[in-house]
Chain A
Amino acid sequence: MSASTHAVPLYRLAHGRTGDKGNRSNISVIAYRPEDFALLVAQVTESRVAEAFAHRQPSRVKRYVLPKLHAMNFVIDDVLDGGVNGSLNLDSHGKALAFLLLDMTIEVPTTEEK
């Protein structure tokens, strides 16, 4: 990124929620401010989300964009070590995972932030 940007954690710009079905997780990423939505669409990509969950070895990450809600929905396959009945995780639903995704950093134009 250029010198006129700085990194902020995604959780400053967006909120989200995790849902689960079987061994698949879906995580919404919703802009707090509509004006940030384009920035999020540009930077919170399928490949960056796959990277955030690399240790869980998901087989696929699919992003759906909902411009009218200023939201994105990420569907992450085979990310729950078997899911609610199969995983050895304390959080076998993966309820916490939205907060792993929201830890990602976003490059924000410095001037716009002021």
Chain B
Amino acid sequence: MAAPLLIGAGAGFSGDRVDAAGPVVRTLAARRMPACLIYETLAERTLALAQLARRTDPEAGYEPLLPDMLAPVLGDCLRHGIRIVSNFGAANPPAAARRIVALARELGLRVPRIAIVRGDDLSSPAHRAMLREAIGPRLDEIEVASANAYIGAEPIAAALAAGAEIVVAGRVADPSLAVGPAMAHHGWRADDWTQLGRATMAGHLLECGAQVTGGYFADPGMKDVPGVHEPGFPIAQVAEDGSCEVFKADHTGGCVTLRTVKEQLLYEVHDPAAYLTPDVIADIAEAEVSQVAPDRVRVDSVRGHARPDRLKVNVCFEDGWLAEGEISYAGRGAEARARLAGDIVRRRLAGVLDVRIDLIGCVSVFADDAGRMRERVEPGDARDVRMRAAARHADRRVAERLAREVTALYTCGPAGGGGVRTSVRARLDTLSCFVPREAVPTSFEMAA
């Protein structure tokens, strides 16, 4: 099959804009080419929260915004043969599939053929021994919330080849959402490393949505973005040899330039010659980018090498409590009063909690938990400063003491403190390990 495939991005993370997919789908339909739409909505923490949600409600545990994301485009996708692939199944792909069926009925549409992908979820007791071997005795000390292998494109490609119009997965590697449709469309084999490597980088450019079209980019005066309030989401045109051109939805803001593409090409990449996924080791050491038209960039010279023998597994577990409290000071002496407030909280909790202090407006997100940078920065005379205290503890009641100490600053702290906000939240932590690929069989099944 020689015709290229268009792959549009509908979301780049859980919580992305639900109005982004509309212009993408209209653009795909107008091009009258083979096309699909992907939604990437899973992060480490998202999946653990989904797993916890499913424990309390067997019909929960998939992307909560799923109906909001799909409703604006489902009819057009079905009408124009635009297939949808996503990891929005999270911890519960079967329930997500049932929700899509219900949504189609609510919208007066025919019920689409939906496939669910299986194999990533390793949280059942049957997988305990394998995880114990990979992680070691640390596993015995934790209460596992979720355990998922990053699986690849093969079950997605197989589901599409079998006629699925929508593929609902859980923890597949982000770029595999694009590699699967490209594999199915172009008929690549699982060891066509060059093509898979190239399609992987196409998926990598798409997987964070607007991050390649002017999102996470604007820097006034240095890097200005037209229509920055409504960046169009990206579309990749993937050719039979895997090479791609990235552009964006028609009639939208944002931009696709050498700069936006270079930044996203290297985003979350470590060794550029070895970007590891379940499908392939992609290699961008010699990659080149060229602006072939306004808002259209071509990526060349990406290579691919044989895929890793092992799959990455993330194990999430609940790990105590995070307490935070903030209070603001403004006007003459604000910085000195905010620093004093931080000192008071630390003294009050000495020996109870290791407290991080931020002086928002002076020194905060660049700084470190131990306070080395804050101590190095000379006290100045900032006039609008928010003191933030944060600490963690295994025992909720101990963590709550931080929130109470910050609240008490209203009457017991420095002059003029206002706007206290506090929160105490359960913390989730993650362990990563690797397991043999053969130990994680994957499959798909038609749910509707």
Using CB atoms and an 8 Å cutoff, list the residues of chain A in contact with chain B: 11, 15-17, 19-22, 24, 26, 28, 30, 32, 55-57, 64, 66, 68-69, 71, 73, 75, 81-91, 96-97, 100
Contact = CB atoms under 8 A, between A and B. Distances in A.
Contacts of B269: 19, 26, 73
A10 B425 CA distance: 39
Given A85-B45, A85-B429, A90-B364, A15 B263 contact: yes
9 contacts: A17-B216, A26-B267, A28-B266, A55-B376, A56-B368, A64-B272, A66-B284, A88-B369, A88-B390
B223 interface: yes
A11 B219 CA distance: 10
Contacts of A19: 266-269
A96 B390 CA distance: 19
- Which interface residue of B270, B392, B427 has the most chain A CB atoms within 10 A? B270
Contacts of B272: 64, 66, 73
- Which interface residue of B217, B369, B373 has the most chain A CB atoms within 10 A? B369
Contacts of A21: 268, 270
A97 B390 CA distance: 20
B388 A90 contact: yes
A17 B199 CA distance: 22
Given A66-B272, A75-B270, 9 more contacts: A16-B263, A17-B267, A19-B266, A26-B266, A30-B259, A55-B376, A64-B285, A83-B430, A88-B356
B432 A73 contact: no
Contacts of A17: 216-217, 263-264, 266-267
B373 A55 contact: yes
A100 B366 contact: yes
B contact face: mostly helix, strand, loop, or mixed? mixed
Contacts of B263: 15-17, 28, 30
Contacts, number: 109
Contacts of A90: 358, 360, 364-365, 388, 390
- Which interface residue of A17, A22, A71, A86 has the most chain B CB atoms within 10 A? A17
A81 B392 CA distance: 13
A41 B262 CA distance: 17
Contacts of B372: 55
Interface stretch (B2-10, B248-256, B286-294, B436-444): B286-294
Contact of B368 (A32, A55, A85): A55
Interface of B: 44-45, 216-217, 219, 222-223, 259, 262-273, 284-289, 301, 316, 319, 322, 356, 358, 360, 364-369, 372-373, 376, 388, 390-392, 427-430, 432
Contacts of A75: 270-271
Nearest to A83: B430
Nearest to B369: A81
Contact of B266 (A22, A71, A87, A96): A71
A56 B373 CA distance: 9
Contact of A81 (B44, B286, B368): B368
Contacts of B264: 17
A22 B429 CA distance: 10
Closest 10 CB pairs of A and B: A19-B268, A91-B365, A28-B266, A17-B263, A88-B356, A55-B372, A88-B390, A55-B373, A81-B369, A19-B267
A61 B369 CA distance: 20
